[in-house]
Amino acid sequence: MIPTARDLQEVGVSIKKRWSDNILDIQYAKGVFKIPQFDIQDDSEIVLRNLIAFEICHCEDSYIIDYVIFMDSLMGTAQDVDILVQNEILKNSLLDCASVLTLFHNLTTQVLWVSQNYYYHGLCRKVNEHCRVPWNKWKAIMKRDYFSTPWSIVSTVAAVILLVLTLIQTVCSHMLL
């Protein structure tokens, strides 16, 4: 499986809306997740349950089950759902983010899932490889803490320039002695 939306953001993975008519068409490349928008309405749980039941009874592949499990793995808390709503991955017509979280958790708890044929296996492998690299997390922290606004970028660059000039002055003054 993959980390939650918040955990992905902490290691520098961007989550963006993908323009596609197929909700299963999720892509990942170079630290960017592109996920088609899913409109969650009052009847979404019923529709998804019926699709899952149909898939279990009549299909060899489990695309809908895999999609629901994938989306559920992105959502560990209501904060993760909020991230997906802000990035327009989920269009929430329910009361709150906790309702969406409950919907996906309820759908996945009653499904027998076989990980061998998981539709998003390759995608999850790439994401987990990205998350294991410490540099990606450090880069995301630097970007979040030091380069989040134009003024913080300017002040950081100015500090680096000042540090370099001080170093040059120190080296030159020691060479003259």
pLDDT tens per residue, range 84-105:
999 999 988 777 888 889 999 9
pTM value is: 0.79
**74 part of a folded domain:** yes
Q: Are residues 67 and 111 in the same domain?
A: yes
Q: Are residues 68 and 108 in the same domain?
A: yes
**138 part of a folded domain:** no
**55 part of a folded domain:** yes
pLDDT for 114: 64
Query: What is the arithmetic mean of pLDDT over 31-56?
Result: 90
Give per-residue burial for 144-168: e unless 16+ CB within 10 Å, then b: eeeeeeeeeeeeeeeeeeeeeeeee
User: What's the count of helices (H) and strands (E) in the chain, helices before strands?
Assistant: 8, 5
Bigger pLDDT: 137 or 48?
A: 48
Whole-number Cα distances in Å, 104 to 87, 88, 136: 18, 17, 29
Q: Are residues 101 and 31 in the same domain?
A: yes
Name beta bridge partners: 19.
none
159 phi/psi in degrees, rounded to 5: -65, -40
Q: From 69, 46, 171, select the one nearest 117 (Cα to Cα).
A: 69
**141 part of a folded domain:** no
Bigger pLDDT: 26 or 142?
A: 26
CB neighbour list of residue 14: distance below 8 Å, 6 or more residues apart = 31, 32, 33
Q: Are residues 99 and 13 in the same domain?
A: yes
Average per-residue pLDDT in the chain? 87
pLDDT for 1: 80
Q: Are residues 89 and 154 in the same domain?
A: no
> Where is average pLDDT lowest: 53-57, 108-112, 172-176?
108-112
pLDDT digits (tens, 9 = 90+) for 124-170: 899 888 888 888 888 877 777 777 788 888 888 899 999 999 999 99
Q: Are residues 165 and 86 in the same domain?
A: no
Q: Are residues 124 and 168 in the same domain?
A: no
Whole-number Cα distances in Å, 53 to 56, 57, 124: 5, 6, 25
Q: Which span out of 54-63, 67-76, 128-137 was modeled with the highest average pLDDT? A: 67-76
pLDDT digits (tens, 9 = 90+) for 113-123: 666 778 888 88
pLDDT for 10: 86
Query: What is the arithmetic mean of pLDDT over 61-90?
Result: 91
Report residue 22 as tokens.
């197929």
pLDDT for 72: 92
pLDDT for 26: 93
Domain that holds residue 153: 149-176
pLDDT for 37: 93
